[in-house]
Amino acid sequence: MEIVYVGHRNPSNRALLISNKEWKRLGKILTKKMDEEESVEASKRLKEMRRETSKKMVDGWDNTELNKTKKLLEQKRKALSELEVKRQQRDEEMKREALDARNRIIEKACKLKFEERDATKTFYRALLHSEVFKERAIQLKFNAAEREKRMRKDFETAQEQNKEAERYRKHRADEKQKSSELKKSKAKILLKELKDRGDKRNEEQIASRESGKVELQKIAEEIEEAREKAAAEARVAKEKLQKDIADNRTMITKQDDVRETVEWEEEMVTTIMAETKKTLARARRLKEIELAEVKQLALEEMRMRSAAWPTKQNGWAESDVQDAIEMQEKRYREGDRKKRELANRRIEHVKIGNQLWEEEICRRRERLEQDLQSEMNRREREKKLLTEYVDLRGQIQMKNAKQFREQLDKQCNDKRITLLANRQADIDRHKAFERQWHREDEEFLEYAKNVIEKKKLVGNPVMPLLKTMKDYLEKNNLCMDKDNKISKKTPKGPIYTSRIIHHIK
C-alpha cells in the first residue's frame, strides 16, 4: 500500500494505492463468510448429484433385493388395481340393486303414507259406511219380523208372570201376618229381660261406687303421707345446706387470715432484708475509711522507720533513701511518659479515624447526589415513557374502537343479508309445501272420484263418499270447477296472517 497526492499536497488530494494481490486478500477477508457458504452449497449440490446418479445406476440393476421387491410390489399393485376394477363393477351393480330396492321402498312408503293420511282414512271410513248401507235394509226387514215374534212371546210370558205375581202377593200377605204376631210375642219377652238386666246393672253400679270411695280414701291417705315425707326430706336438706354454707364461710375466713399473715410475713422479710443491706453498706463504708486511715498510719510509720535506718554496712544512709526515691520518681515519670505517648497515639488514631469518617461521609454524600441525579433522570424518562404510553394507548383505543365499529357494521350487514336470505328461503319452502299440498289434494280427489264412479257402476250408495269429499274441500278451502280442476278459494276481503312462517317437517 502507498499514499500518493493528486495535484497539490493537500489532505483532500490524498489517495491510497493498493496492489491487486492486496486488493484480492482484503476482498477475501470481507467475503469470507459468503465464500464459505458457497463452498458448503457447492459440496451439498455435488453430494446430491452423486446420490442421484448412484440411484439411477442402482435402479437399472436386476440382481438387487430392492429392485426385486419393487417388481413384486408392482405386480401386487397391478393385481390390486384389477381387483379394484372388479370391486367397482360389483359396487355399481350393488348400487343399482340398492336403488331399485329403494325405489320399491319409496313407492310402498308413498302408498302407505297416502293410506295413513287423515283424509284417506276418513274416505275409507265413508266407503265402509256406504258398504254398510247395503245390508241395512235387509237387516231392518229381518229386525221387524224378529220384533213381532218377540212381542207375541213377550205378551204370553207377561200373562203368566201376572198370574204368578198374584199368587206370590197372597202368600206374602199371609207370611207378613204370621211374622207380625211372632214379633209381638218376642218383644214382650225381650222387654221383660231388659228390665231384669237394668235392675241388675244398677245394683252393680252402686256396689262399684262404694268400693271406689274406699279406694279413693286410701289413695288420699297415701298421698298425704308421701307429701309429709317429702316436706321432712326438704327440711333436712335445707338444714344440711345451711350448715354447709356456714362451714364454707368459716373456711373462707380462715383462708383469708392465713393469706394475710403470709403476705405480712413476706413484707416483713423484704423490709428486714432492705435494712440489713443498708447496714451492711454503711459498715462496708466505715470499714473502707478505717482501712484508709490504717494504711496512712502504716505509711507514716514506714517513713519514720526508713528515716531511722542505718547505712548499708552500718545502716541505711539518707542518700540511699534519696536515690531510691529518685529511682521511684524516674520509674513513675517513665510510666507517665508512656501513658502520655499512648494518649497522644490514641488521639492521633482518633483524628485519623475522624478524617476517614469525614471522607466516607463526603463520599457517601457524593454517591447520594449521584443516585439522586440518576433517580431524577430515571423519573424524567419514566414520565416521558408514561406520557408516550398514554398517547399510544389512546391511539390504540381509538384504532380498536374504529375496528370494532367496522366489525359491528360488517356483522350487521351480514346479519341483515342472512335474515333476508332466511326469509326468502322460508318463503320458497312455504311455496314448495303449498305445491306439495296441492299435488296431494289432486291425488286424493282423483282417487275419490274414481272410487265414486266405480261404486255408482256397482250400484252401491255414494252419499257418504260425496259428503266426505265435500267436507274435505271445505276444510282445505278448495273449490272444483266444471272441468274438475282444483283451486284455492279467493277471499272476499284482506287476510291478516303472521309474518312468521313455521317450518313444517
Band (230; pLDDT cuts 50, 70, 90): confident
Report residue 413 as a C-alpha cell. 350487514
CA 48 to the chain's CA centroid: 60
Q: How far, in Å, CA of 289 to CA of 301, rounded? A: 18
| pLDDT over threshold 50, residue 295 | yes
Band (425; pLDDT cuts 50, 70, 90): confident
Q: How far, in Å, CA of 302 to CA of 480, rounded? A: 170
The DSSP symbol for 18 reads -
The predicted-structure confidence for 358-385, as pLDDT tens digits, reads as follows 888 888 888 888 888 888 888 888 888 8
Q: Please tell me which residue, 2 or 244, carries the higher pLDDT value.
A: 244
Q: What is the model's pLDDT at position 7? A: 60
Band (481; pLDDT cuts 50, 70, 90): low
Q: What is the model's pLDDT at position 275? A: 78
Percentage helix, strand, coil for the chain under 3-state DSSP, each rounded to 5:
90, 5, 10
Q: What is the model's pLDDT at position 501? A: 42
| pLDDT over threshold 60, residue 344 | yes
Q: Which of 42-56, 307-321, 392-406, 483-497 tops mean pLDDT?
A: 392-406
Q: What is the model's pLDDT at position 312? A: 46
Q: What is the model's pLDDT at position 363? A: 87
Band (504; pLDDT cuts 50, 70, 90): very low
Q: Which of 100-114, 209-223, 332-346, 413-427 tops mean pLDDT?
A: 413-427
Q: How far, in Å, CA of 151 to CA of 190, rounded? A: 55
Q: Please tell me which residue, 82 or 157, carries the higher pLDDT value.
A: 82
Q: What is the model's pLDDT at position 362? A: 87
| pLDDT over threshold 70, residue 309 | no
Band (5; pLDDT cuts 50, 70, 90): low
The DSSP symbol for 105 reads H
Please give the angle made by the CA atoms of 47, 53 and 59, to the nearest 5 degrees: 130
Q: What is the model's pLDDT at position 435? A: 81
Band (3; pLDDT cuts 50, 70, 90): low
Q: How far, in Å, CA of 273 to CA of 262, rounded? A: 17
**Any idea which residue has 535506718 for its cell?**
309
Q: What is the model's pLDDT at position 503? A: 40
Q: What is the DSSP string of 197-259?
A: HHHHHHHHHHHHHHHHHHHHHHHHHHHHHHHHHHHHHHHHHHHHHHHHHHHHHHHHHHHHHHH
Largest interatomic CA distance in the chain: 204
CB-side exposure of 498: number of CA atoms within 13 Å?
3
Helix (H, G, I), strand (E, B), or coil: what is residue 493?
coil
Q: What is the model's pLDDT at position 500? A: 42
| pLDDT over threshold 80, residue 216 | no
Percentage of the chain with pLDDT > 90?
Answer: 0
CB 472 within 8 A of CB 444: yes
Q: Please tell me which residue, 89 or 63, carries the higher pLDDT value.
A: 89
| pLDDT over threshold 70, residue 195 | yes
Q: How far, in Å, CA of 33 to CA of 384, rounded? A: 43
How confident is the prediction for the chain on average, in pLDDT?
78
Beta bridge partners of 92: none
| End-to-end Cα distance, the chain | 97
Q: How far, in Å, CA of 305 to CA of 315, rounded? A: 12
**Any idea which residue has 205375581 for its cell?**
165
Stretch 279-306: mean pLDDT, rounded? 74
Band (306; pLDDT cuts 50, 70, 90): low
Beta bridge partners of 14: 5
Closest CA to 433 of 364, 341, 489, 503: 503
Stretch 153-165: mean pLDDT, rounded? 81
Stretch 154-171: mean pLDDT, rounded? 81
